[in-house]
Chain A
Amino acid sequence: MNTDKKTLLAATNLSMTYKTRSRTFRSFEHHALKGLTLEVKRGETLGILGRNGCGKSSLLRILAGIVHPTSGQLELQSGLTRSLLTLGLGFRPDLSGRDNAILSAMLQGKSKKQAKATLETIQEFAELGKFFHQPVRTYSAGMRARLGFATALKTDVDVLLIDEVLSVGDTHFKHKAEQAMLEKLNGHQTVVFVSHNAGQIDKVCNRAIWIEGGVIRGQGNTKEVAKSYRQFMNELDKEKGV
């Protein structure tokens, strides 16, 4: 790895190929990532831009250590803790918001006691009222997202990987979430933030990478990357006659 101590994560030539069975003994191959090289430095907020299906989520899963890349290498500083925040997944619909919040905290390595101690702030932040004690299956999509965000905010890790969180909830909650995120970002938190929304990336990140079709199309200054991404999307619109 780079001898630079500031580098927390270094990915070299990452590729990810999915194989799914389509018919008996036949499979469909999808190359989600095709040789990506990138670094994440301590304390920075790295934005990853790209439209749906460009490989953003695959990249996050690899960076979070959930899956291995099909090829390529991921090096990280020893003892590095990472957490991937995605909303709507992982909740058990039959359990109450409270129980889900406890489980989420425990899954991230907290003891039951510590998990219970965070409940009050989560309940307050999520603004679920009495629904907090009802099964999550009775929640609206927005309520589920609020609970997800509130639980996610409580994690204490070296690198936080965030998947399109701010695009949920009503305007009030969106502002609140953005503010809470910025507070975390202005601290020493290292964040990798993924979105298909150039404006959002521009607002919170200090460096950006634009991925299209599994390869890096642009990286560096957030404003410039966001600009070329927007241009690309506009051209796409024209092409399709939208």
Chain B
Amino acid sequence: MNSLQFISLVDTQARMALKAEASKLYLSYLWWVLEPILFVLVFYFVFEVLLNFGRENFLLFLMCGKIPFLWFSKSVNTGSNSIVQNKGLINQIDIPKTLFPYTSIQEALYKQWVVFLVLFAMVMFYGHWPSLSWLWLLPVILAEYLLILLCTLLGAYLVAFVGDFRMVIQMGTMFLMFSSGIFWDINSIGDGQLRELLMIYNPLAFLIDAYRQVLMENAMYDLQHLALLSAGLMAGILMVQIVYRVQSRTIAAKVVAG
């Protein structure tokens, strides 16, 4: 299977899965928009109505963090099970095992752009009009995509060997939710060194801050940091791909015996 066939297969599978999912629900594709809107409403109710958070634009602040985070956590958690879930197919044909995590990620990606549209609508609702500087979001989104790829490929590999990793991954994403500055601003960490460390070792914290810089502050994030991060992620993905290639049949044997 060459790369073109691989990409076409990933794309076709992801589209078909979305179509199947939509056909099972009465509101079908409408859920893609409804889901994030309901999220916003729930948060609005908790933080603005119940808790009456004083912070200006807190809801917007929250959504700029939560929506990118949800993309990450959903993709990684679903994608990590993708190899195990495709046992039937793995039993039957010798195919690159990366196909399954990639398909799962692609499926999430196709939904995500709708969710991002909802986010942008909200940003505009709060009076931040789109400008050319919004284009600086593209590298941020790309970097997050790379992060999702690396984490999911690793996750799916580990879960294929030891099912318990599924629990570890769930705990891990929970930990990330609290440590990435979704409900709070990482710039409020007093200790500058600590903040730097968090930014370096938790790429999600950096990325979420970058989303906010562009969308809310009309400011620029640390481009060099982003470039280094992306390069590191790409190197990581490349290495994991090699492991997958070398161990393709070992993974199959493990899943088959599973």
Whether the pair A95, B20 counts as a contact (CB closer than 8 A) is yes
Cβ of A31 within 8 Å of any chain B Cβ, yes or no, is: no
Whether the pair A99, B89 counts as a contact (CB closer than 8 A) is no
Is chain B's interface secondary structure helix, strand, loop, or mixed overall?
helix
Name the contact of B89 in the complex, choosing from A67, A90, A111 (C-beta under 8 A).
Answer: A90
Chain A contacts for B93, CB-based, 8 A: 64, 66, 83-84, 90, 107-108
- What's the Cα separation between A109 and B5 when bound, in Å? 7
Encode B87-104 as 1/0 by CB contact (under 8 A) with A: 011111111000000000
Smallest CB separation, A150 vs chain B (Å): 16
Chain A contacts for B124, CB-based, 8 A: none
Cβ of B228 within 8 Å of any chain A Cβ, yes or no, is: no
Whether the pair B9, A64 counts as a contact (CB closer than 8 A) is no
Cβ of B30 within 8 Å of any chain A Cβ, yes or no, is: no
Cβ of A19 within 8 Å of any chain B Cβ, yes or no, is: yes
Whether the pair A89, B92 counts as a contact (CB closer than 8 A) is yes
Smallest CB separation, B173 vs chain A (Å): 25
Name the contact of A68 in the complex, choosing from B23, B90, B249 (C-beta under 8 A).
Answer: B249
* Complex interface residues of chain A between 32 and 78 (CB less than 8 A to chain B): 61, 64-68
Whether the pair A68, B12 counts as a contact (CB closer than 8 A) is no
- What's the Cα separation between A72 and B253 when bound, in Å? 15
Whether the pair A103, B94 counts as a contact (CB closer than 8 A) is no
Encode A107-149 as 1/0 by CB contact (under 8 A) with B: 1110110000000000000000000000100000000000000
* Complex interface residues of chain A between 5 and 49 (CB less than 8 A to chain B): 18-20
Encode B1-42 as 1/0 by CB contact (under 8 A) with A: 100010011001100110111011000000000000000000
User: Known interface pairs A94-B20, A106-B8. Does A20 touch B249 (Cβ–Cβ under 8 Å)?
Assistant: no
The listed residue with most B CB atoms (<10 A of its CB), out of A66, A109, A135, is A66
- What's the Cα separation between A108 and B13 when bound, in Å? 14
Whether the pair B20, A66 counts as a contact (CB closer than 8 A) is no
Cβ of B257 within 8 Å of any chain A Cβ, yes or no, is: yes
Whether the pair A135, B20 counts as a contact (CB closer than 8 A) is yes
Smallest CB separation, A74 vs chain B (Å): 11
Whether the pair A112, B89 counts as a contact (CB closer than 8 A) is no
Name the contact of A103 in the complex, choosing from B12, B19, B23, B256 (C-beta under 8 A).
Answer: B12
Name the contact of B91 in the complex, choosing from A20, A86, A94 (C-beta under 8 A).
Answer: A86
Cβ of A159 within 8 Å of any chain B Cβ, yes or no, is: no
Chain B contacts for A68, CB-based, 8 A: 249-250, 253
Whether the pair A61, B91 counts as a contact (CB closer than 8 A) is yes
Encode A77-111 as 1/0 by CB contact (under 8 A) with B: 00000111010011110110001001100111101
Chain B contacts for A84, CB-based, 8 A: 92-93
Whether the pair A66, B17 counts as a contact (CB closer than 8 A) is no
Whether the pair A107, B95 counts as a contact (CB closer than 8 A) is yes
Cβ of B252 within 8 Å of any chain A Cβ, yes or no, is: yes
Name the contact of A95 in the complex, choosing from B8, B16, B88, B252 (C-beta under 8 A).
Answer: B16
- What's the Cα separation between A109 and B9 when bound, in Å? 9
Whether the pair B5, A106 counts as a contact (CB closer than 8 A) is yes
Chain A contacts for B250, CB-based, 8 A: 68
Name the contact of B8 in the complex, choosing from A19, A20, A99, A111 (C-beta under 8 A).
Answer: A111
Residues on B close to A: CB < 8 A?
1, 5, 8-9, 12-13, 16-17, 19-21, 23-24, 88-95, 249-250, 252-253, 256-258
Q: List 16 A-B contacts (CB under 8 A).
A: A20-B258, A61-B91, A66-B94, A68-B250, A82-B94, A89-B91, A90-B88, A94-B24, A95-B20, A106-B12, A107-B89, A107-B93, A107-B95, A109-B1, A109-B5, A135-B23
3 pairs of A and B residues whose beta carbons are closest in the complex: A94-B20, A89-B88, A67-B253
16 further contact pairs, Cβ within 8 A, besides A67-B252, A103-B9, A107-B93: A64-B93, A66-B256, A67-B253, A68-B253, A82-B94, A89-B91, A92-B17, A99-B20, A102-B12, A103-B12, A103-B13, A106-B9, A107-B9, A109-B1, A111-B5, A135-B23
